[in-house]
Structure 1
Amino acid sequence: MYPLRLHRPAPLRTGLTLLLTGSISPLSHASTEAVDVVITDPVVVTGAYAPTGSFDLPFSIDTVDLSHGTDGQLAVNLSEVLTKVPGLVVQNRQNYAQDLQVSSRGYGARSAFGIRGLKLLSDGIPASTPDGQGQAASLNLDVADRIEVLRGPAATLYGSNAGGVIQMFSRDGQGPARVGAETTFGSDGFNKNHLSAEGGNETAGFVLDESRMDTDGYRDHSAARRDQTFAKVHVRPDADSRLALIYSSLEQNNTQDPLGQTWDAYKHDPRSTAAVADTYNTRKSIDHQQLGMNYERYFGDATLQFNLYAGQRSVVQYLSIPKTVASNSQRGGGVVDFDRAFHGGTLRWIQPVVAAPGNLTVTVGADYDQSKDDRRGFQNFSGDTLGVKGELRRDEQDTATSLDPYIQAHWELGNWTTDLGLRHSSMQMRVDDHYLANGDSSGKKTYQQNTPSLSVMYAFTPDVRGYVSVGKGFETPTQAEMAYAPGLVERFNFGLKPASSTQYEVGVKYRLGERTRLNAAVYEIHTDDEIVVASATDGRTSYRNAGKTLRRGFEASLHSDLSDQWQTTVVYTRTDARYAEDFAQGTQTIEDGNRLPGVPLDNLFGELVWKPATFVSMGVEGQYRSKVYVEDSNTAKPAPAYTVFNWRTRFEQHAGPWTFHQLIRLDNLFDRQYVGSVIVGDGNARYYEAAPGRSWYAGAGLEYQFR
């Protein structure tokens, strides 16, 4: 949820209006037309809860503005847009069964599927479960107005996801009603068809969106189909209130999983897949539906924010566990099948304190979230037939519940700005085991911790600000990380402890005139009980706690409108993430000083955009990433460093009520062969996931606006 009172605060009125009303162009949210107002201080709510210019906040937060569309991107994966955010490493697995891999300052790099270590939100509603597991695919880029990314100590105010927060805000329907359609084709059988309708006025608006994406996949056995639906209706009953209803769905049936590759297999044929992927027809089906409500009301200068959400998610996944292992009664089988029901809500009060000197705002609130999985496991064979659902081997109900109260104060006094926050984070995991042939794994475990943060900023000049931030955080194990204990015995790993951290950050924010913005920060993170892979064999990954780790890094971003026709973005991230003490892993010792796998030391992104006329936009993107270690001993072949370049062009024409657009895109211009992502600690040494060579895409669309 986010406040919409546009007259407060007055100095931010222009930026706030542009961000919260969505499109500037009345004809198309993806317009390439030039914008008269240069926005170098985007207004954000993540980290502050009330609208505040990001330049005025004493911590690292960046905004990706999508109010004019994705400008030549395919709007399929978050990897298309989050590369512009420092501190993040976004790896496209080219595997829609496992989703993207996103890490922030080293958090989340170890995730075998989906996103963990970062909290995902969509319009203030969690896209992460209470235990910290999230799916990037649930954030729909076709309807995004902006994405805010919070990193560092202030992120601990959002619960047990110490790595940061990624929050997407959908646009409001504005202006005369319009309908649109577009289609895009490309390499490896890629095809995306998209339909949309939206419109609104000062009191109400709507957005309807439907898309289908098909691909044969770059690698063998990696075909996927993704259907997404989005519907949003907002109303403003009076000047002091706003209500929004939001529905979204995601469906992927029989998405093929090519698994990882050994180094030799990758070098021999980057498109190859492991033989067991074909033998067991590894695949995953997802059916996700969610309904949410946001309500907001002003009481004088105070603001009440309230949301509720509920939904269901069904997943069936066929793994490649060998029949000889899956036959063992002590194992849970090679088919994961669960039906999840989830719900929750947030209640928040934002109160300016007029009696205090300067500008003091206090926020108090509480978040409640619960997900309940009816989880079953089956053998992945029946007789001699492999890759089918066989006998039952696991049957349990897993319930994750969190209730987190918090308080935050934002105080501006002269040249000083202070943010102080405290959250009591708690998560209970309860297991009710109904399959007792292999013993009773029932039980429960509660994780809880107070997570304070303090950030202080000083304005040296109106355009130069420096800040210091410190915070305590913790990261609970996810259900997937607790699902299997090390060894052959099938039991829940209640012995896994949360990782606790202390984070420090020092940064500077610098405005170089109206058109250029520079942000830079150095950080250090000390973590105890880091959650690491204990073993990953026969389709099972189990986890354990290691000792201490140390992350030190630097990140910087430069955004500049060089002229009315040229814009540039340069983003650099350096993360030196290492173990800070020895620990035993099986029969070997992981030594102090070893690098954390999955975390590149250096990551550099650059983009140059040219808009010579109102009807054309052309961009060149460059990405460098240093080598990536793939397991804790650092002895296996690291994924080598690489540099790739992409090129895109988008055209747009207007004819009366009609708007037409076309796009052409070439990825990996110089046909570089490289490893796009890694699977950390894979026991079969299938660590590597090849990225595509040179790929092309072309698309066209139209939109009709009703008068």
Structure 2
Amino acid sequence: MQSVSHFLSRGAFTANAGFPISFQKRNGGSVLFIPLALGADWLRGRTTITITPHWNGYSTAGMITYPMMSRCIMAIQCKPHVALLLLGALALPPHLFSQTISDSIKYRLPVVTTIGTRISEPWLEVPLALTVLPKSSLALTKGYGLDEALAGVPGVLVLSRFGNQDVRITIRGFGARGAGERSNSGTSRGIRLLSDGFPETEPDGRTAFDLVDLAGAGSIEIVRSNASSLWGNAAGGVVNIRSNTNFENPFARYSSAFGSYGFHKEMLQAGAHVGTGKLAVSLSNTNADGWRWHSRSSITLLNMALLSQIGQETTLGVYLSGASNLFRIPGPLTQSQYDVNEQQADSLYIKRDERRFNRLGRIGVTFSHGIGDAHTFSASAFMNPKYLQRSERNTFRDFTRYHLGGNFTYQNKSSLNPEVNNILLVGMDEAYQDGAILFYALTANGGRGSTLTENKREGANNFGLFVQDEVMVGERWSVLVGGRYDDITYYGRSFVKPWLNDARSFRHFTPKAGVTYRPTSTRSFYANIGGGIEVPAGNETDPVPPDTIHALNLLLDPITSTTIEVGTKQLMQLGAGAWGGTVVYDVALYWLEVSNDIVPYRNGRFYFTAGKTRRMGAEFGAKVQLVNGLSLEGALTVSDNKYLEYKVDSVYYNENKAKIFADYKDNEVAGIPGAFYSAALKFASPSAKGFYARISAQGTGAYFVDDPNLVEVPSWLSMNAMIGLDQLHLGKGPFTVSGFLAVQNVLNTKYVGSAWINPDLNAQGKPMYIEPGLPRNLVVSFTLGAEL
């Protein structure tokens, strides 16, 4: 067994292996920069590394040894709380070891991730398309919606509906579907959204964004591949937002931001050591008048995360979130309305004061305990009460819901011989949501009337069992196989019409297999094949007319899919000197076929699962980081998306048209552009004391919004610019200032920012589908911080 002792002296480390090492402060934390080869054997489980740090006379708080097969970021806490981040997983070529750190690029790779395989392992070894966004990239946004945060992720298209947190998110086409008023605002579907591993996505697959706190996030992990074999109802992938608990020293920050159209955000953040743990708190309040009429919004968010090492092998996490979110909905426009005045709102939406007022909270607990080197048990539990009010489709609705659940996993690590290691994972997920919905008549001014028109219960349960086994052969090969069984059950009960009481279950087993090959320690190739499951959402389960005795559609089946994916990931070292640096890129090619795709009838009043689609595409993402402070990043997605089978029975529109079908075979899938892209150029010179400048661009190709392919959204391109300061120290004290001035849509381009899919028609027979993109707008942000 090897051991490596590191000694700190005036900010510099040395290692007995003779590697050059530096210790520097970055973004409020301390980071150990070492040649990446030093930790490669540890991350691959081939050795044990013992670190005994010393800090200018302070004794260490203890010595931590990370045993064989440990696959997590190496961090040691010592007085005064020095966090040593070992950037291991990827080895630089041997001839680079003689370089000094000043000649080498200090680029933080997303080395370790847990979301792709539900075990901690290096980014290169995961046989999936996977992106990890660090906190530094999130600081370049106003922190209101996921559209800014995920703009540079290939394969992921996030479009803001009218400038606040309500977005339309699609991954490889999943999440794109919609039908009229019933499924085109307020929620997304097909993609699983998590916060610290707790589901924002409800058991039926719908996701609201009320508790999404980008201001307090430490990182975002995005699985772009089919994730149902581990996460269940997540055919489109997974987005996991992690709290900012990865800090070294206690800190406090106050931020204020102002912008066009009444945008105003105030935020407090703090981090503290509590015993052996770290407590992170974020409180924010965001208000906006909105650019369009009837689009005012206001949200207050509180997030607290306490992560504590309560024993050498035991970790406890406690998480608390709460939100009050009120936003009004301007509704879609016709083409003629958009041409005349894109700021206007739909007159009916104004009359009904269409809005959502969501108040909700969540408390969650995580627990992990290891027994020796081989066994790890993990569990979590959460409770998420909700009180939701909305004016919607000419009714006022009161929702009282509770969403609760948890999971349990067991992980076993073993070695068959020195060259063959194995990780077995088995687990269970359970999530249940239930509650009452009261329907009232709407008053003339959009308020709640006194007449109760419906009182019903709407519940859903999502239970899943999964198993996964990964075999690693030497340093080059790893093979992963697994599968998951899901049972998703809907419950419906009417207290006004009790004969409509009903229940319906969707059951499915989803397999997955993947392989990774690493020809060098800085490059990998992977391939995988897997299935996906997505059930019709709760508002897509209404019975087919003339059925008046069931609350749930008996003719629906699970939406299933098969994905084949190949890809490569690589870190390349550029030359030395001012133009030296690194290039990190990933490329993914995919082919997927969806069976039992959902087919909307009569503007989404009911559905059949009778369609079949094929989607295939290529994704490319890269970042070039140079020593001189220049960085360039970009993402490109191109795809071909077709309906293979899609027939609409005309009898449900006109009883005289029995056995007459509208056939949309070979049409393009609605809501998915054939291409979308982003690019950004940033300059942040190390000698400029935190100053940076950034320009970026984002755009999409044209796409159809309806299944018959009659209505098309044109392509668009938007440019943005930003200048700012990043943690400029005020004298020799603990205080820093940060801030930026951002101009979005610099060229004031008029474009369709988002669109309703399969839109309703107005009285003149014109489709109402356009949600205009914001014109040129400004955001000014200021942050005062202190590291205590």
Taking structure 2 as the reference length, the TM-score comes to: 0.81
1:690 to 772, 778, 784: 772
Aligned pairs for 1:599-678 (under 5 A) are 599-612=672-685, 613-636=688-711, 638-651=712-725, 652-655=727-730, 656-678=733-755
* Mapped partners of 1:210, 1:177: distance in 2: 17
* Mapped partners of 1:358, 1:394: distance in 2: 62
* Mapped partners of 1:320, 1:405: distance in 2: 38
Moved more, 40-49 or 6-15: 6-15
1:71 to 139, 144, 149: 139
Matched, 1:189 2:262: yes
Residue identity matched to 1:663: F
Matched, 1:249 2:316: no
Residue identity matched to 1:527: V
Aligned-residue offset at 1:338: 1.0
Aligned pairs for 1:123-522 (under 5 A) are 123-172=196-245, 174-200=247-273, 203-253=276-326, 255-301=327-373, 302-321=375-394, 334-355=395-416, 357-381=419-443, 386-414=446-474, 415-436=476-497, 440-483=499-542, 485=544, 491-513=551-573, 515-522=582-589
Aligned-residue offset at 1:125: 1.0
Aligned-residue offset at 1:601: 0.6
Aligned-residue offset at 1:335: 2.0
Aligned-residue offset at 1:177: 2.9
Q: Which has the larger radius of gyration?
A: 2
Moved more, 669-678 or 228-237: 228-237
Residue identity matched to 1:43: V
Instruction: Give the conservation status (yes or no) of the 8 Å contact 1:110–1:532.
Output: no
Instruction: Give the conservation status (yes or no) of the 8 Å contact 1:664–1:698.
Output: yes
Instruction: Give the conservation status (yes or no) of the 8 Å contact 1:277–1:320.
Output: no
CA change 1:472–1:440 in 2 (3 A) is same
Matched, 1:80 2:148: yes
Residue identity matched to 2:683: W
Instruction: Give the conservation status (yes or no) of the 8 Å contact 2:567–2:586.
Output: yes
Instruction: Give the conservation status (yes or no) of the 8 Å contact 1:290–1:312.
Output: yes
* Mapped partners of 2:617, 2:81: distance in 1: 40
What fraction of aligned residue pairs are identical, expressed as a percent?
Answer: 22
Residue identity matched to 1:389: G
Instruction: Give 3-state SS (helix, strand or coil) of 2:415's partner.
Output: coil
Instruction: Give the conservation status (yes or no) of the 8 Å contact 2:504–2:552.
Output: no
* Mapped partners of 2:112, 2:251: distance in 1: 27
Aligned-residue offset at 1:304: 1.2
* Mapped partners of 1:353, 1:145: distance in 2: 32
Aligned to 1:701: 783
CA change 1:502–1:298 in 2 (3 A) is same
Aligned to 2:23: none
Aligned-residue offset at 1:19: 9.6
* Mapped partners of 2:547, 2:343: distance in 1: 33
Aligned pairs for 1:506-585 (under 5 A) are 506-513=566-573, 515-536=582-603, 541-584=605-648
Matched, 1:58 2:127: yes
Gaps spanning 5+ residues in structure 2: where? Answer: 1-37, 52-70, 84-102, 179-183, 574-580, 654-660, 762-766
Instruction: Give the conservation status (yes or no) of the 8 Å contact 2:631–2:682.
Output: yes
Residue identity matched to 2:496: Y
Instruction: Give the conservation status (yes or no) of the 8 Å contact 2:484–2:510.
Output: yes
CA change 1:378–1:403 in 2 (3 A) is same
* Mapped partners of 1:25, 1:555: distance in 2: 41
Instruction: Give the conservation status (yes or no) of the 8 Å contact 1:624–1:641.
Output: yes
Instruction: Give the conservation status (yes or no) of the 8 Å contact 1:106–1:575.
Output: no
* Mapped partners of 2:649, 2:357: distance in 1: 34
Instruction: Give the conservation status (yes or no) of the 8 Å contact 1:153–1:453.
Output: no
Instruction: Give the conservation status (yes or no) of the 8 Å contact 1:64–1:84.
Output: no
> For residues 206-231 of structure 1, what are the alpha-carbon distances to aligned partners after superposition, in whole Å with 9 as ceiling and x for unaligned?
11111110001111000010110111
Aligned-residue offset at 1:316: 1.2
CA change 1:41–1:317 in 2 (3 A) is closer
Aligned-residue offset at 1:494: 4.0
Residue identity matched to 2:398: D
* Mapped partners of 2:439, 2:274: distance in 1: 51
Instruction: Give 3-state SS (helix, strand or coil) of 2:585's partner.
Output: strand
* Mapped partners of 1:557, 1:70: distance in 2: 17
* Mapped partners of 1:9, 1:241: distance in 2: 24
Aligned to 2:159: 91
CA change 1:441–1:575 in 2 (3 A) is farther
Moved more, 610-619 or 36-45: 36-45
CA change 1:389–1:494 in 2 (3 A) is farther
* Mapped partners of 1:127, 1:421: distance in 2: 25
* Mapped partners of 1:541, 1:575: distance in 2: 30
Gaps spanning 5+ residues in structure 1: where? Answer: 1-5, 28-33, 322-333
* Mapped partners of 2:274, 2:683: distance in 1: 33
Aligned to 2:93: none
Residue identity matched to 2:745: N
* Mapped partners of 2:624, 2:673: distance in 1: 26
* Mapped partners of 2:738, 2:250: distance in 1: 18
* Mapped partners of 2:299, 2:547: distance in 1: 36
Aligned to 2:90: none
CA change 1:263–1:220 in 2 (3 A) is same
CA change 1:422–1:320 in 2 (3 A) is closer
Aligned-residue offset at 1:453: 0.3
Residue identity matched to 2:588: A
* Mapped partners of 2:262, 2:163: distance in 1: 15
Moved more, 48-57 or 507-516: 507-516
> For residues 639-664 of structure 1, what are the alpha-carbon distances to aligned partners after superposition, in whole Å with 9 as ceiling and x for unaligned?
11001111112213212121111210
Instruction: Give the conservation status (yes or no) of the 8 Å contact 2:43–2:72.
Output: no
* Mapped partners of 1:372, 1:635: distance in 2: 39
* Mapped partners of 2:769, 2:786: distance in 1: 48
Instruction: Give the conservation status (yes or no) of the 8 Å contact 1:155–1:165.
Output: no
Aligned-residue offset at 1:579: 0.6
* Mapped partners of 2:757, 2:723: distance in 1: 36
**What RMSD over aligned residues (CA atoms) do the two structures have, in Å?**
2.7
Residue identity matched to 2:125: D
Residue identity matched to 1:435: V
Aligned-residue offset at 1:201: 6.8
> For residues 604-652 of structure 1, what are the alpha-carbon distances to aligned partners after superposition, in whole Å with 9 as ceiling and x for unaligned?
111111102241122111112001211110112x111001111112213
Instruction: Give the conservation status (yes or no) of the 8 Å contact 2:561–2:593.
Output: yes
Instruction: Give the conservation status (yes or no) of the 8 Å contact 1:280–1:318.
Output: yes
Instruction: Give the conservation status (yes or no) of the 8 Å contact 2:672–2:704.
Output: yes
Instruction: Give the conservation status (yes or no) of the 8 Å contact 1:419–1:456.
Output: yes
Taking structure 1 as the reference length, the TM-score comes to: 0.90
